[in-house]
Structure 1
Amino acid sequence: MAHHAHPSAPAHGHSTHTHTHGSDATPNGLPEILDLDAALFAPHLTALTGRIACLAGDDVQHIVDLGSGTGTGTFALLERFPTARVTAVDSSPAMLERLASAARDRRLGDRVRTLEADAGAGLPGVVDADLVWAAASLHHLDDPATALAGIRAALRPGGLLAVAEVDGMPKFLPEDGDAGELEARCREALGGLHAERLPHRGADWGSLLAAAGLPVEQERAERWELRTPLPEGAGRYAYLVFERIRGTLEGRIGAGDLAALDRLIGGGPEDVRHRDDLVVRSTRETWMARRPT
């Protein structure tokens, strides 16, 4: 349940978000996408961790970050809960080493433990967690019921599970006109790919959580939007996402659309790094569920 590479937005951890299958574009670009997403949407993530803290209470000592990626959620939650420690769980050793190095650089190494594991197969050795954070990771599960049972077992009675998911790739271009229509077709093509490879993307997580003995206490969908003046890094973020989309959709969309994507990342006047009409829009859903006492 690592952050695999596909071009939908990371979800504050998780960023959101970006798990590209079959793309050779920017093979090492995923960590940068995750980090840019974290930087651009930092105020939103701060608000979200505030909501989590209101439900989780003050006495949070052990947090589990599922599909921890580069550590966006880990570091946001360590800041929100200053006496807590985090077990960062990912199936990618490279991501975990990157996270551990970042923790040492921030002088937080003693508060972070990494665990290489596929959460779909359980969380070995993880017990009595006060809070489990799963951002843009649950939709990778092959068997949600089994995995959620494992997450429930890792939580202490009364412990909180916070789930965040995104509705697909972020939108960057004006919705009216050719560019917006191109973006809509790309989202549709990616949706078809995800239906094949990620059957639980867009699942009814509220029902799945309740069925797993984790009643939902709060559910919310929020539209995260950035407009001019955009923060530094927005153009680079759009460029990296479109580059991954272009690699992923080769052979799945027409030659005209591929050529249009090439113009968005080709360095010319239509390149997303140079446009003055760029926006960043993403819809993110969250569920807060608790293991009953």
Structure 2
Amino acid sequence: MTHTHAEILDLDAEVLAEHLASIVAWLPVEATPRHIVDLGCGTGAGTFALLDRFPGAHITAVDASAEHLSRLREKAVQRGVAEQVRAVEADLDAPWPDLGRPDMVWASASLHHMADPDDTLRRVHSTLAPGGLFAVVELAGFPRFLPATAPENRPGLEERCHAAADHKHAVHVPHRGADWGPMLTDAGFAVEDQRTVTVHIDQSRSDAVGRYALNGLQRIRVAVAGLISPEDLAALDDLLNLNSPASILRRADLAVRTERTVWAARRP
């Protein structure tokens, strides 16, 4: 079983919906935003969480993936908010299209993908209306799903896989897990607040946790093949084999464990 990135984003939105809503509710909004730009919107998790809180807003949703934006448009139609959502396909490392003059910009799990994040922050500053709010949400890392004692034949497998993947990503995605506060200040923003949200969702609370764990570990497997021991790779493949008695979908001890940090910064 394989998953597209769009399907993974949809699962992420489903499993973490409650935590995303809490982040949006926390934002220090001075006046209800009329126009919001969602940078690196994916399939719309942030877009629709923002519309849930600000139902009168119009959102410009920007992403480089046509597939992501197609799903976002479908969801907007299903939710009856198609007139409030403008989808814009754009590479944010290239010259930006005209995004208007938003009074809020939202960037969730997207800034660390930018080739030059400092330049991106300066572009956001020049795009945002004076007094506007910039919300940056970043992951501490990819979620963990298994207890430390699992699997029984290779305890600690997941942490070893993440350690190998983190070493690889440190070269290719150096800003993942960065402290964005100083960079926001250097770009001219006033950082008003910051919080870290700890996520722990037991499988019993969502039947999507198993599917989320499956596709998460499938992605890890691609990243760490050749970097972990043959014994660990065999144990990981056993977890990912849906026909195996050890399949991850047969486990009753799964949970989503991660952290998300959000910075609320204002353009003076």
* TM-score for both structures, normalised by structure 1: 0.86
1:175 to 132, 143, 148: 148
Report if aligned partners of 1:269, 1:275 keep a CA contact under 8 Å in 2: no
- For structure 1, which segment, 140-149 or 81-90, has the greater mean C-alpha deviation from structure 2 after superposition? 140-149
Provide, for residues 135-194 of structure 1, a one-character-per-residue CA deviation record: whole Å limited to 9, x for no partner.
100001111121111011111001001111112111111124656511111111111111
Equivalent residue for 2:202?
A: 227
In structure 2, how many angstroms separate the alpha carbons of the residues matched to 1:116 and 1:63?
A: 16
**What letter matches 1:281 in structure 2?**
R
Provide, for residues 47-100 of structure 1, a one-character-per-residue CA deviation record: whole Å limited to 9, x for no partner.
111112xx1234210011111111011111111101101000001112112211
Unaligned runs of 5+ in 2: none
Is residue 164 of structure 2 the alignment partner of residue 184 of structure 1? no
Equivalent residue for 2:89?
A: 116
Give RMSD over aligned pairs: 1.6
Unaligned runs of 5+ in 1: 1-24
Aligned residue runs from structure 1 range 139-178, under 5 A: 139-176=112-149
Is residue 176 of structure 2 the alignment partner of residue 201 of structure 1? yes
Equivalent residue for 1:274?
A: 250
Aligned residue runs from structure 1 range 1-293, under 5 A: 26=2, 28-52=3-27, 55-176=28-149, 181-267=156-242, 268-292=244-268
Q: Name the % identity.
A: 46
Q: 1:228: Cα distance to partner?
A: 4.9
In structure 1, how many angstroms separate the alpha carbons of the residues matched to 2:150 and 2:83?
A: 52
In structure 1, how many angstroms separate the alpha carbons of the residues matched to 2:204 and 2:69?
A: 34
Aligned residue pair count: 265
In structure 2, how many angstroms separate the alpha carbons of the residues matched to 1:40 and 1:279?
A: 11
Indicate how the Cα distance of structure 1 residues 216 and 91 shifts in structure 2: closer, same or farther if over 3 A, else same: same
Task: Report SS of the residue matched to 1:171.
Answer: coil
In structure 2, how many angstroms separate the alpha carbons of the residues matched to 1:246 and 1:234?
A: 18
**What letter matches 2:254 in structure 1?**
L
* TM-score for both structures, normalised by structure 2: 0.94
Indicate how the Cα distance of structure 1 residues 155 and 233 shifts in structure 2: closer, same or farther if over 3 A, else same: same
In structure 2, how many angstroms separate the alpha carbons of the residues matched to 1:207 and 1:140?
A: 18
